[in-house]
């Protein structure tokens, strides 16, 4: 077997493929899979001189003791292939996804187009740029990225809900263990935070059990499953070309309810902006929601649950939350807890008026 844990091992593996490499570079940022940029000895027919490969093992690349079904590689390849031919984006679109070139199912390795050197949105927000001149300033950046993400996810959900995509949605139900593991991460983080800040409530176990059961249900759309800012990269505008925004991770794709994606995206946006760039929190979130709302309606209780779980959980343990003030993190957790309380009470009016979620439920003009 080949050693995919090192560039040297990948270099040897690539000699057995049509993508013979001159150089292999490990890319940072991947915690689930091993990701490499490959400089090719000979350009592709398209003229591309480099590609990116993503290799999966039966565990996250960042934590080998944890087991995770390698079938998630199949999920990502199927999702990328479907989206690449969906018409949801083209070469001139602001939002882009990598296009799959080939899949080696035996080694669980995806070959895809190289998006080039890009800036992670998380890095931009963490550095707290007050003068992002390339992007028109931090407020323009937040508004543009938020609107583009909300619009794309809305169109993605609309497309995946069409009757002709029923077979695609059904495919993602074939590996329930992969789905459970993806969902369990969210609930694990929720429970850790509830204990950390001593804010556990009696109804939480029942809520989590119900969510775990519903995770195996086709909620009518294909969701990205890890719809978070840490999977968003950007390149600044250049002469004759607008900013480009790249979504890079679909390995947790599954058939579910649309609130799963928008809830996580909302929670992660609130988390990082409140901790690093509080002046843009409402603008960023409102831009996402206004753009999404043009395409679909959402269930208010489901939205409060999805957002609340990830604000309490992932939002307080994300990489950008490390070494942050405990008081700020507890405030984030309490924001999520309040949404969960409203959902448990069935108080839809208060959810729809909630400052974070209200733009999803305003009348369309």
Over residues 20-77, the pLDDT tens digits come to 999 999 986 567 889 999 999 999 999 999 999 999 998 877 777 878 888 889 999 9
**220-258: b (≥16 Cβ within 10 Å) or e:** bbbbbbbbbbbbbbbbbeeeeeebbbbbbbbbbbbbbbb
Residues 342 and 350: their CA atoms lie apart, in Å, by 7
pLDDT at 67: 80
Q: Which residues contact 80 (CB under 8 A, 6 or more apart)?
A: 97, 98, 99, 100, 110, 112, 250
Q: Would you say residue 128 has pLDDT above 70? A: no
Please name the CATH architecture into which domain 1-114 falls. Answer: 2-Layer Sandwich (3.30)
Q: Would you say residue 140 has pLDDT above 80? A: yes
Residue that the structure tokens 């799963």 belong to: 260
pLDDT at 61: 78
Q: Per-domain residue ranges for the chain?
A: 1-114, 117-365
3-state secondary structure of 224: coil
CATH 3.40.50.720 fits 117-365, yes or no: no
Q: What is the pLDDT of residues 242-288, one digit of tens each?
A: 889 999 889 889 999 999 999 999 999 999 999 999 999 999 999 99
Q: Which residues contact 214 (CB under 8 A, 6 or more apart)?
A: 257
Residues 43 and 20: their CA atoms lie apart, in Å, by 10
Residues 143 and 151: their CA atoms lie apart, in Å, by 12
Query: Which of the four pLDDT bands, split at 50, 70 and 90, describes residue 174?
Result: confident
């Amino acid at each position: 077997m080949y050693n995919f844990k090192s560039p040297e091992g990948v270099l040897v593996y690539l000699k057995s493929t049509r993508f013979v490499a001159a150089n292999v570079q490990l890319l940072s940022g991947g915690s689930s899979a091993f990701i490499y940029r490959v400089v090719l000895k000979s350009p592709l027919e398209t003229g591309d001189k480099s590609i990116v490969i993503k290799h999966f093992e039966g565990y996250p690349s960042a934590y080998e003791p944890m087991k995770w079904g390698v079938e998630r590689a199949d999920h990502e390849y199927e999702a990328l292939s479907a989206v690449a031919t969906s018409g949801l984006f083209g070469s001139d679109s602001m939002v882009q996804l990598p296009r799959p070139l080939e899949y080696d199912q035996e080694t669980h390795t995806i070959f895809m187009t190289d998006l080039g050197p890009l800036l992670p949105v998380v890095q931009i927000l963490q550095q707290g740029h007050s003068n992002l001149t390339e992007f028109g300033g931090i407020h323009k950046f937040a508004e543009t990225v938020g609107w583009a993400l909300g619009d794309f996810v809305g169109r993605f959900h609309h497309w995946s809900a069409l009757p002709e995509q029923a077979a695609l949605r059904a495919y993602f139900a074939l590996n329930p263990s992969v789905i459970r593991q993806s969902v369990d991460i969210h609930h694990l983080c929720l429970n850790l935070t509830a204990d950390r800040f001593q804010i556990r409530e009696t109804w939480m176990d029942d809520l989590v059990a119900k969510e775990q059961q519903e995770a195996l249900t086709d909620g009518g759309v294909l969701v990205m499953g890890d719809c978070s800012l840490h999977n968003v990269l950007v390149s600044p505008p250049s002469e004759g070309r607008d900013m480009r925004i790249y979504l890079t991770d679909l390995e947790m794709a599954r058939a579910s309810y649309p609130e799963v994606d928008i809830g996580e995206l909302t929670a992660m946006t609130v988390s990082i902006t409140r901790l690093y760039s509080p002046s843009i929190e409402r603008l960023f979130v409102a831009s996402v929601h206004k753009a999404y709302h043009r395409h679909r309606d959402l269930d208010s209780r489901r939205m409060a649950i999805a957002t609340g779980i990830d604000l309490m959980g992932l939002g307080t343990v994300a990489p950008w939350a490390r070494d942050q003030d405990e008081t700020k993190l507890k405030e984030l957790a309490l924001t999520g807890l309040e949404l969960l309380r409203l959902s448990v009470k069935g108080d839809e009016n208060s959810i729809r008026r909630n400052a974070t979620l209200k733009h999803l439920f305003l009348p369309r003009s």
